[in-house]
């Protein structure tokens, strides 16, 4: 009686190569989709942060007669016993003065709200004091022009001072930026308390745009206008020149329709 061996089942080399090729093609198609989905999720989480900051700002304004917060307090002097900042700012917690996130914290009650999930820049201390590990930085900053007086101010213009001014002095608080996403400075220091349009690296952090808190405390997302990057920093540093650029949403004293 003849015996027959059952042929072994399995893939041929060509079949295996075809399967590998199909997997590679699917990966090439799907990985960018997954990356975009992840970026969109971080954008949404960041928008949630800004909305919570807006709510905190609203409650702060209610408690302080509509006066907008200062960007930061003066440096501690001899005999100063606090309160100090909780954030990685200047010389760090327990050493440096309060900054605006500290003023909003009693209402937000979450340090993590002030860190954008897309901001992975490590803290770079330039003041010679080592920061404790896991100290939160802040990825958002106040609008520079609320703290930059015009020199000299034109007739009839209310030039805001270091206190940030009052929301009641604005004709269109819903159309004025108060908090914007910020990016590391040239030195790599990511802890800035004010921001202006020439610090635009973070304005395209999320799929070509960024999240903003307007002065009426609502938050929304906007795409970054590429022309901002073409304006010299010297223009943005001069409030009188900067106000001539077509972006009135940055200037609390300019009464014009919001433009992006």
- Give a three-class secondary structure readout of 17-55: HHHHHHHHHHHHHHHHHHHHHHHHHHHHHHHHHHHHHHH
Report how many helices (DSSP H) and strands (DSSP E) the chain contains, helices first: 4, 5
Say if 255 falls within a structural domain.
no
Q: What is the pLDDT of residue 183?
A: 79
For residues 99 and 182, the answer to whether their CB atoms sit within 8 Å is: no
Distances in Å between the Cα of 19 and the Cα atoms of 8, 10, 30, 33, 198 are: 20, 13, 16, 21, 50
For residues 222 and 210, the answer to whether their CB atoms sit within 8 Å is: yes
Q: What is the pLDDT of residue 58?
A: 95
Q: What is the pLDDT of residue 211?
A: 96
Which residues neighbour 259 within 8 Å (Cβ) at sequence distance 6 or greater?
A: 246, 247, 248, 249
Domain span at 165: 15-250
Full-model pTM: 0.80
H or E element at residue 208:
none
Please give the tally of structural domains in the chain: 1
Say if 178 falls within a structural domain.
yes
* Residue 229 token pair: 């990057």
Paired residues of 72 in beta bridges = 99
DSSP sequence for 153-184:
PPTT-----TT--BGGG-S-GGGSEEEEE---
Distances in Å between the Cα of 104 and the Cα atoms of 59, 68, 119, 137, 204 are: 9, 11, 20, 14, 25
Q: What is the pLDDT of residue 199?
A: 84
Q: What is the pLDDT of residue 54?
A: 96
Distance CA 256, CA 260 (A): 12
Say if 259 falls within a structural domain.
no
For 206, which DSSP code?
Answer: B
Say if 57 falls within a structural domain.
yes
Planar angle of CA 59, 255, 239, nearest 5 degrees: 90
Tokens 């996130």 locate to 101
Q: What is the pLDDT of residue 136?
A: 78
Say if 4 falls within a structural domain.
no
pLDDT in tens, the chain (260 residues): 555 555 656 667 777 777 787 787 777 776 665 566 677 788 999 999 999 999 999 999 999 999 999 888 877 776 677 788 888 787 777 778 889 999 999 999 998 899 999 887 766 666 666 666 677 778 999 999 988 877 665 555 555 556 788 898 888 899 999 999 987 654 555 567 889 998 888 898 898 899 999 999 999 999 988 888 899 999 998 888 999 999 999 999 888 877 77
Q: What is the pLDDT of residue 94?
A: 76
Distances in Å between the Cα of 61 and the Cα atoms of 54, 56, 66, 149 are: 10, 9, 4, 22
Q: What is the pLDDT of residue 143?
A: 94
Q: What is the pLDDT of residue 189?
A: 52
Say if 5 falls within a structural domain.
no
Distance CA 41, CA 118 (A): 10
Say if 159 falls within a structural domain.
yes
Phi, psi of 156 (to 5 degrees): 80, 0
Say if 257 falls within a structural domain.
no
């Amino acid at each position: 009686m003849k015996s027959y061996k059952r042929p072994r089942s399995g893939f041929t080399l060509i079949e295996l190569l075809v399967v590998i090729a199909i997997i590679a093609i699917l990966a090439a198609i799907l990985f960018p989709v997954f990356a975009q989905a992840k970026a969109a999720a971080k954008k949404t989480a960041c928008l949630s942060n800004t909305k919570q900051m807006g709510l905190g700002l609203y409650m702060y304004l209610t408690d302080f007669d509509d006066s907008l917060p200062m960007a930061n307090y003066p440096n501690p002097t001899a005999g100063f016993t606090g309160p100090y900042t909780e954030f990685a700012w200047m010389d760090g917690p327990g050493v440096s003065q309060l900054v605006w996130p500290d003023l909003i914290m009693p209402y937000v009650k979450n340090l993590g709200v002030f860190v954008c999930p897309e901001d992975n820049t490590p803290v770079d201390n330039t003041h010679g004091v080592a920061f404790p590990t896991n100290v939160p930085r802040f990825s958002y900053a106040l609008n520079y022009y609320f703290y930059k007086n015009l020199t000299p101010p034109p007739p009839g213009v209310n030039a805001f001072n270091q206190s940030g001014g009052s929301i009641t002095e604005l004709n269109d608080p819903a159309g004025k930026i108060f908090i914007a996403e910020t990016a590391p400075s040239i030195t790599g220091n990511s802890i800035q308390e004010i921001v202006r349009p020439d610090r635009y690296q973070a304005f395209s952090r999320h799929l070509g745009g960024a999240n903003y808190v307007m002065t009426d405390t609502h938050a929304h997302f906007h795409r970054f206008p590429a022309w901002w990057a073409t304006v010299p920093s010297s223009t943005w540093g001069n409030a009188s020149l900067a106000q001539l650029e077509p972006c009135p949403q940055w200037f609390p004293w300019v009464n014009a329709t919001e433009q992006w």
